[in-house]
Amino acid sequence: MDFMIDQVYAAGGDDVARAYASPELYERLVGLPKLSTPEVLDHRVDGTTVRLQLRYRFIGDLSPAVTAVVDRDKLTWVEHSEHDLAKRTVRYRLAPDHYADRLESSGTCVITDRTNGSVRTVTGSLKVRALIVGGAVERAIVSGLKEYLADEVALVDRFVADHAG
């Protein structure tokens, strides 16, 4: 399943790009729907390129049908991302800690300026391999991602404001 999600920020594009490349941002992503606060595993800076590895854990509700075949404690993954601060782009891929044969996801983020602030466009591809329910699981994941990213905007804008000047 391919998807595209826009996030609209009050902050300018350069500030948003730097925020997402900063490990301190992820400590502030607390209380968002369905996912735990990301754990920063690695952060490397090489000029205007930043590489991050973040571990996420799913903490949302799951139906009994899902928990019959999936251990909720094993719903963790590492996001590997490469941020090009000069171009304000990010390439990412998800690497599940468990169930790697059942989930693939990768994509890009592009940040553009607008009259008052910026827009971050997240595009990606998600594939869930599960008989009969794969498509439904993909739709549920993308729906949850939209909710998460919508709620993330205010925290990113606050982070940028706190680090201005």
Contact, 21 vs 83, CB < 8 A? Answer: yes
Q: In which band, very low, low, confident or very high, does the pLDDT at 154 lie, cut at 50, 70 and 90?
A: very high
Domains of the chain (ranges; CATH) run 2-162 (3.30.530.20)
pTM: predicted TM-score of the whole model, two decimal places: 0.92
| Kind plus residue range of the DSSP H or E element containing 91 | strand 89-96
Q: What is the pLDDT of residue 150?
A: 95
Q: How far apart are CA 51 and CA 89, in angstroms?
A: 12
pLDDT at residue 133 is higher than 80: no
Contact, 20 vs 90, CB < 8 A? Answer: yes
Contact, 90 vs 107, CB < 8 A? Answer: no
- pLDDT one-digit tens code per residue, 14-58: 999 999 999 999 999 999 888 889 999 999 999 999 999 999 988
> Region 85-111: what's the mean pLDDT?
94
Using only C-alpha atoms, what is the Rg of the chain?
16
Which single residue is written with the structure tokens 């997402």? Answer: 20
Q: How far apart are CA 36 and CA 14, in angstroms?
A: 27
Q: What is the pLDDT of residue 59?
A: 82
Q: Is the pLDDT higher at 74 or at 154? A: 154
